[in-house]
Amino acid sequence: MAKEEIVQRLQECFPKSFINRNGEFIAHKKSNTYMLLHNKETWLDVAVGLVEWFSRAAYKTQCYKSTAADAKFHRFMLDGINKFLAPAKPLTNKDMELVYTYLGNGVHHALAVEFVESDSDMEILRAYARAKDPDFYARWEARPCSD
């Protein structure tokens, strides 16, 4: 897929998104949720970028004065991520906590690539979390899914 097609697909997944003059893909203007595109040449580059840079917005960013509006924003971001990645099993809000914790802000790029290449198989992150921080994982696992 050509870069122009990838960017078009990305914009379809995030309604009202745009690309500014600095080559930043702005997914949501009010929250300033964005990702640089100049270093993204392939679908995999963009998909990994979404996981690394949009997972916080899908999980916990608070840009509104009400919990309901923030929840709607989180859903918008999560829906966009799921539409672009198109995993066999869509990611949930609960999943995004692990995604953000272990992949957000590019903290573990190689793991993010592995995760995206696996069709967003959450077992990869679960295994990593169990090994890295068993107490956190146990608390996460015990929480109900709010989706």
Q: Which domain holds residue 83?
A: 3-142
Predicted local distance difference test score (pLDDT) of residue 147: 65
Interval 58-87: pLDDT, tens = 998 888 888 998 899 999 999 999 999 999
Mean pLDDT estimate for the chain? 94
44 falls within a domain? yes
Only one residue has tokens 């309901």, namely: 68
- Check residue 37 and give its pLDDT: 94
Q: How far is CA 67 from the centre of its chain?
A: 20
* Among 112, 140, 117, residue whose Cα is nearest residue 49: 112
Q: Which residue, chain included where needed, has tokens 């600095």?
A: 22
Structural domains in the chain (count): 1
Higher-pLDDT residue of 63 and 94 is 94
What's this model's pTM, rounded to 2 decimal places?
A: 0.93
Query: Does 147 fall in a domain?
Result: no
Per-residue pLDDT reduced to its tens digit, 9-53: 999 999 999 999 999 999 999 999 999 999 999 999 999 999 999
- Alpha helices, H only, the chain: 3-13, 43-59, 67-85, 93-103, 109-117, 122-132, 134-142
Q: pLDDT (tens digit, 9 = 90+) per residue, 41-50?
A: 999 999 999 9
> What sections of 15-92 are H helices per DSSP?
43-59, 67-85
A 10 A CB-CB count for 77 gives: 23
